[in-house]
Amino acid sequence: MFKKIKGQDRVIEMLEKAIEGRRVAQAYLFSGPKGVGKFTTALYFAMALNCRNEKKRRPCGECASCKKFLHFNHLDFSYLFPIPNMELKDDGTVGNPKFLKEYEAYLTNKKETPWKEFFFTTNSEIRRDSIRVLQNRLGMGTHEAIYRVCILEDADSMNNNTANAFLKTLEEPPANTVIILTTTQPERLLPTILSRCQEIHFHPINKSIIQEILQTEFMADANLASSLAKLVNGNLELAISLLDKSDSEARELAFKIVELIGLEKEEEFLNLLGTFKTGRNSAFMVELIANLSLLLSDVIMLKNHPEEVVIPANEEIYQKYYMINPSADDILIDVLPQLESMNQQARGKVNPQLIVIEIYNRITRRLYQG
């Protein structure tokens, strides 16, 4: 199954050699950009460590152990990720069931459509009670695994108190236990945590690989696959998400912003800004900007290559841009690289409202004033 992970050959080779040479570290840090396969690699590594198939390349994905990992129900597998405050008790039961349905929906999404971003309706982080539950589980011994595995996804979401509590486990992990942390921002982790992990860096996925995956595995049109591969900066998950025809809030908001620019409805835009006050994390903003880039690329294509328009249903909106300014394509060609700089800002601690206002102003200023 390691073959399914594209664009990270060096990482896979390193992990396979560690298994073959029995030089498996007790703690790993998988760092790198979002959407490049860190979690999937961590999961497959856990499967490979415990795969029972002697005849096939591990992980086989077919033995009982592999299937349990794939369904997240292996007794010796712990998966921690940022969650709302569910008031977990020491045995893992939920004290506050308010967010239980969202928690279950997150896991379902992770198993079935992992490229889709899932957003909780309130702030989420890896919490201290989750670490306490993990520590209790690790103290019980293994059940059936060769290696017990714990994955902490987005480990940088731990606050200092939680990180210090987790550090105790990292300093003295039980025997035959492998802990894998994933992060896009290793600099936000405590130096003491970094020093106890073997860091493995993941690189952005090559455009040609993303295009190939979209065409061969998701049956995307060649023009669309090429356009998406150029837009997503090596983020395969985002490319697949943009390809998905089902509605998403980020896509709907992108449509609305493009429409309001074309209709010059500033008052409605100001009302729209109210939806960006809360619940808009960096991942949401990156998806929003990618959708905006895709739509504005369609406006450009409409003039000279209408056959390459990705979403023809919006052509009426696109035409309005040329009614405002016949040189709309040249203007947007200049604006698209600026959206990329906005994308970089969205990955940091910048107010989402300010990013959306800046995007709106840059486009309207050029479009209406020439």
Say yes or no to pLDDT of 275 above 80: no
CB 64 within 8 A of CB 75: no
Query: Residue 48: is its pLDDT beyond 70?
Result: yes
Residues 153 and 71 in one domain: yes
Mean pLDDT of the chain: 88
Co-location of 140 and 166 in the same domain: yes
Q: How many CB atoms lie under 10 A from the CB of residue 289?
A: 23
Interval 139-193: pLDDT, tens: 887 888 899 999 999 999 999 999 999 999 999 889 999 999 999 999 999 999 9
Confidence of residue 64 (pLDDT cuts 50, 70, 90): very high
- Same domain? 261 vs 339: yes
Average pLDDT over residues 83-100: 91
What's the one-letter identity of residue 359? I
Tokens of 232: 């997503």
Rounded-to-integer distance, Cα 189 and Cα 170, Å: 13
pLDDT at 231: 78
Q: Which of 29-38, 294-303, 322-331 has the lowest mean pLDDT?
A: 294-303
In this predicted structure, what is the pLDDT of residue 271?
A: 86
Quick one: DSSP state of residue 94? B
Non-local (6+) Cβ contacts of 195 within 8 A are none
Block residue for tokens 């065409």: 215
Owner of token pair 């902490």: 152
The pLDDT of residue 63 is above 80 = yes
Q: Are residues 182 and 73 in the same domain?
A: yes
- The amino acid that residue 360 corresponds to is Y
* 158 and 124 both lie in a single domain: yes
Per-residue model confidence (pLDDT) at position 277? 62
Check whether residue 188 and residue 317 sit in a common domain: no
Question: In sequence order, which residues have a C-beta less than 8 Å from that of residue 337 and are 6 or more positions away?
Answer: none
Determine which of 73-87, 106-120, 241-255, 273-287 has the lowest per-residue pLDDT on average: 273-287
Question: In terms of domains, do 255 and 145 share one?
Answer: no
Q: How confident is the model at residue 279 (pLDDT cuts 50, 70, 90)?
A: low
> Is residue 364 exposed (0-12), middle (13-18) or buried (19+ Cβ within 10 Å)?
middle
Clarify whether residues 170 and 86 are in a common domain.
Answer: yes
State how far the Cα of 261 lies from the Cα of 283, in Å rounded to an integer.
24
- Given 241, 263, 293, the domain boundary residue is 241
pLDDT of amino acid 247:
63
3-state SS class at 302: helix
Domain count, the chain: 3
- Give percent of the chain with pLDDT exceeding 70: 95
As given in the structure block, the two tokens for residue 180 are 């894998």
Distance between CA atoms of residues 294 and 71, nearest Å: 34
Whether 208 shows a pLDDT value over 60: the answer reads yes
Tens-place pLDDT, residues 11-22:
999 999 999 999
User: Which tokens sit at 295?
Assistant: 């739509």
More confident residue, 76 or 307: 76
> Are 211 and 288 found together in one domain?
no
Calculate ∠ Cα 220-226-232, nearest 5°: 100
Range of the domain at 233: 206-241
Decide: 3 and 37 in contact? Cβ < 8 Å: no
Residues 214 and 350 in one domain: no
